[in-house]
Amino acid sequence: MTNLNEAKLHYPWGDTLPEPGRAQEVAPGVFWLRLPLPFALDHINVWLLRDHMLINGQRQKGWTLVDCGIHKPQLKALWAEIFEHVLQGLPILRVMVTHMHPDHVGLAHWLCEHWSSEAHDCSLWMSFTDYSHAMLGTHGGTGFGGDEAARFFRAHGMVGDDQLAGMRERRDYYRGLVPSLPDHFHRLRDGQTVRIGDDDWQCIVGYGHAPEHIALSQPERKLLISGDMVLPRISTNISVYNSEPEGNPLHDFLTSLSRYEDLDPATLVLPSHGKPFGAAPQQPEAHGLHERIRQLREHHQDRLAEVLEACKTQAGSGMDMIPVIFKRPLDLHQTTFAIGEAIAHLHALWFEGKLVRFKDEHGVWRFRAA
């Protein structure tokens, strides 16, 4: 089925994708790799940037890697192929991670360990908040599954025994994909400038999808490594989790989008999922970053309107709102994210005073129009 919003964007490389274990240059010194994922979202894009550092007084050429895929044997094997065919005999000097989700940080420990030596520590660079959450996840926390997550979703209408049992069984979901992290890291902060090769990249913080997501902008070259904050085909997941049960992440996400509106309309967006887009030669404003931001805002406003209308008819729970927001069948993995996103839309309306919240006789949170 044609995605009408996606069709409005400009894709400089059309349908051309990097071959497995190979890279495609998208700007001088910036290479696109595509790694498989065992989910409905079947891939992640990662980025290799030419870099150089002074090591023991000598200029060492190499690479900065942005994001890295999940910790699975098949991905390690693919990375071994990349080492041989893509790196041109040069080392990965550091691993930058946009945020703490498994597909972005899962192999960071293995890669940093592989490329570290007595002469140089290949270190992890990410935000403090996401490093802390990822470290918590490797020890069994995070809200992706387990007893606490099951209780939380039960309180929002997930009452099916099979679904709740499935949620409890996911207690090791995160650390199954991110078994460990480096025990030290370099902190990335909002507004920080990071020198990569001969370019200065600016850190842009984003909220709502992850605790402290970092995107990287190179304004002179009109490049944006957007992570999951700006994706071309889908809207990134915005969820409420049991670790912050009264959070308002949708408000945080929509507010964060304004941080990208000052970037040049001709910016080439390098997203974590989907294809690079933007920088249409004649109409960059109409086909690129600013158009996609408009689409994302409109998408969530439409979903909010649907949720509000549903709650005017009958008080609803998070589980009740899933078919309102998502028009297709979902497996357990997808349902976990869908109920979190449904709660996020309910909370956004609740915080705005458009909905009121109460617990029914079964202990389920329900929302009705104010």
pLDDT at 1: 41
Identity of residue 233: R
Give CA–CA dist 84/108, Å, rounded: 19
What are 224's strand-pairing partners? 217, 269
313 part of a folded domain? no
CB-based contacts of 114, cutoff 8 Å, min separation 6: 92, 122
> Which residues, 6 or more positions from 161, have their beta carbon under 8 angstroms from its beta carbon?
none
Give Cβ neighbours of residue 150 (< 8 Å, ≥ 6 apart): 158, 164, 167, 168
Number of Cβ within a 10 Å radius of residue 197: 18
Asked if residue 230 is part of any domain, the answer here is: yes
Look up the domain containing 183 and give its range. Answer: 4-302
Is 258 inside a domain boundary?
Answer: yes
SS3 string of the chain?
A: CCCHHHHCCCCCCCCCCCCCCCCEEEECCEEEEEEECCCCCCEEEEEEEEEEEEECCEEEEEEEEECCCCCCHHHHHHHHHHHHHCCCCCCEEEEECCCCCHHHHCCHHHHHHHHCCCCCCCEEEECHHHHHHHHHHHCCCCCCCCHHHHHHHHCCCCCCHHHHHHHHHHHHHHHHHCCCCCCCCEECCCCCEEEECCEEEEEEEECCCCCCEEEEEECCCCEEEEECCCCCCCCCCCCCCCCCCCCCHHHHHHHHHHHHCCCCCCCEEEECCCCCEECCCCCHHHHCHHHHHHHHHHHHHHHHHHHHHHHHHCCECHHHHHHHHCCCCCCHHHHHHHHHHHHHHHHHHHHCCCEEEEECCCCCEEEEEC
φ, ψ of residue 268 to 5 degrees: the values are -85, 120
- Tell me how far apart the alpha carbons of residues 124 and 176 are, in angstroms, rounded to a whole number: 20
Q: 128 in a domain, yes or no?
A: yes
Q: For residue 210, what is the domain's CATH number?
A: 3.60.15.10
pTM of the model as a whole: 0.96
- The residue among 126, 65, 134 whose CA lies nearest residue 97 is 126
Based on the structure, what is the number of domains in the chain?
1
Is residue 370 situated within a structural domain? no
- Closest CA relative to residue 123, chosen from 95, 99, 158: 95
- Position 285 scores a pLDDT of 65
- Asked if residue 34 is part of any domain, the answer here is yes
Q: What is the pLDDT along the chain (370 residues), one digit of tens a residue?
A: 457 787 889 999 999 999 999 999 999 999 999 999 998 889 999 999 999 999 989 999 999 999 999 999 999 999 999 999 999 999 999 999 999 999 999 999 999 999 999 999 999 999 999 999 999 999 876 657 889 999 999 999 999 889 899 888 888 889 999 999 999 999 999 999 999 999 999 999 999 999 999 999 999 999 999 999 999 988 999 999 999 999 999 999 999 999 999 999 999 999 999 999 997 677 766 689 999 999 999 999 999 999 999 999 999 999 999 999 998 888 888 888 999 999 999 999 999 999 999 999 999 999 999 9
Q: Any idea what the Cα angle at residue 30 is, between residues 29 and 31, rounded to 5°? A: 115
